[in-house]
């Protein structure tokens, strides 16, 4: 970028030189004062059409013609260099973003930056998760730039687009594109490129749900159904609904529900829940345990339940303690 500004500096210096030569020229040829000469040069270069300060001699008229021709060429050159730098700046920013996207690992891919996609990105950002957005609607690109998100402008249903955003290294993908067919095809493409990736997809129409599951979506969300269930819960069990929102929202700083997989080499491996300091040291509660091989959740597990590598724990506690527990 530094080298690309040199032509602009040279062009501006050339324009400044033209102004100086023009001013000196009118002083010498017409005998005008410095201010009158500078004024004449400026209105000549800018072609504003203001009347000259004094009548021009034949030599002054010829000098004005030469000044106008040369300054017009310089102004065009300056404008051209400025446009070139603007284009190069956008290209440079795009390439820098592409480099950052290529370095992502264990990240999330958000396909679609509409109203739902916007909220998803806000939640991922608040959770400190790495993510990249795929959005081919140019009307949304200024919003993505303003938010400072990494994004790709391609079609999310195309192999090359998902490969550019690191589909094979990604941890999860959410498909919230404007139409159900787009979400189905994007899910199908994502699972084809990375069968292990966790995919959450939105279904606007009820009949699309089985199609998305058939395409490989691990979870399918119907916003109308989900909204209806949520509103009914608020009517019937407002206290329960409020508690679930409190512990599941990342914005809550006192209490949070989190899940994590017991890593290889963890101190929890082959230990009973009663032997682990989850409650005493981390002030957390294990709500559920899942054996990932069997896939079944055990709710409110007993103290003699044995934890092994690969198990998923659903835990409620303070965010800072949950972070420590993940590394236990």
pLDDT score of 250: 59
Domain spanning 254-326: CATH 3.30.70.1450: yes
pLDDT digits (tens, 9 = 90+) for 144-162: 999 999 999 999 999 999 9
pLDDT exceeds 80 at position 8: no
pLDDT exceeds 60 at position 308: yes
Task: Give me the residue spans of the domains in the chain.
Answer: 3-101, 104-221, 254-326
How many CB atoms lie under 10 A from the CB of residue 123? 14
What burial class does residue 224 get, using C-beta atoms within 10 Å of its C-beta: 0-12 exposed, 13-18 middle, 19+ buried? exposed
Pick one of 3.30.70.3270, 3.30.70.260, 3.90.420.10, 1.10.287.70 as the CATH number of 3-101: 1.10.287.70
Which residue in 278, 276, 264 sits closest to 321, CA to CA?
A: 278
Residues with Cβ < 8 Å from 322, sequence gap 6 or more? Answer: 256, 258, 260, 282, 284, 315
Residue 284 and residue 266 in contact, taking contact as beta carbons nearer than 8 Å: no
Residues with Cβ < 8 Å from 114, sequence gap 6 or more? Answer: 140, 176, 178
Buried b (16+ CB within 10 A) or exposed e, 189-217: bbbeebeebebbbbbeeeebbebbeebbb
pLDDT exceeds 80 at position 320: yes
Whether 3-101 and 254-326 share one fold: the answer is no
* Helix/strand/coil for 302: coil
User: Which DSSP symbol is given to 61?
Assistant: H
pLDDT exceeds 90 at position 67: no
pLDDT band of residue 111 (cuts 50, 70, 90) is very high
Q: What kind and span of H or E run contains 152?
A: strand 151-152
Measure Cα distances from 160 to 97, 134, 157, 257, 308 in Å: 17, 12, 9, 36, 39
Domain spanning 104-221: CATH 3.90.1170.50: no
pLDDT band of residue 302 (cuts 50, 70, 90) is confident
Q: What kind and span of H or E run contains 246?
A: helix 238-248
Residue 287 and residue 300 in contact, taking contact as beta carbons nearer than 8 Å: yes
What pairs with residue 297 in β-bridges?
A: 290
């Amino acid at each position: 970028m530094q080298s690309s500004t040199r032509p602009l500096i040279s062009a501006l210096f050339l324009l400044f030189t033209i102004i100086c030569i023009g001013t000196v020229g009118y002083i010498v040829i017409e005998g005008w004062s410095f201010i009158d000469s500078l004024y004449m040069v400026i209105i000549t270069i800018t072609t504003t059409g203001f009347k000259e300060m004094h009548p021009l001699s034949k030599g002054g008229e010829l000098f004005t013609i030469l000044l106008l021709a040369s300054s017009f060429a310089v102004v065009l050159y300056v404008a051209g260099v400025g446009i070139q730098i603007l284009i190069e700046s956008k290209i440079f920013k795009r390439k820098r973003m592409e480099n950052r996207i290529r370095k992502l690992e264990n990240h999330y891919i958000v396909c679609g930056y509409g109203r739902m996609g916007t909220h998803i990105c806000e939640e991922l950002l608040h959770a400190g998760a790495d993510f990249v957005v795929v959005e081919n609607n140019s009307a949304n690109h200024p919003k993505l730039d303003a938010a400072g998100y990494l994004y790709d402008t391609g079609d999310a249903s195309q192999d090359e687009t998902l490969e550019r955003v690191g589909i094979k290294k990604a941890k999860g993908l959410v498909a919230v594109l404007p139409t159900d067919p787009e979400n189905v095809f994007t899910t199908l493409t994502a699972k084809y490129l990375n069968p292990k990736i966790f995919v959450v997809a939105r279904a606007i129409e009820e009949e699309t749900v089985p199609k998305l599951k058939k395409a490989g979506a691990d979870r399918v969300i119907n916003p109308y159904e989900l909204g209806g269930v949520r509103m009914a819960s608020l009517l019937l069990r407002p206290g329960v609904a409020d508690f679930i929102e409190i512990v599941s929202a990342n914005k809550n700083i006192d209490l949070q529900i989190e899940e994590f997989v017991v890593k290889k080499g963890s101190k929890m491996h082959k230990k009973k829940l009663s032997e682990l300091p989850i409650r005493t040291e981390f002030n957390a509660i294990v709500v559920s345990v899942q054996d990932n091989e069997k896939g079944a959740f055990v709710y409110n597990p007993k103290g003699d339940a044995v934890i092994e590598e690969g198990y998923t724990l659903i835990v409620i506690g303070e965010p800072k303690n949950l972070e420590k527990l993940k590394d236990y």
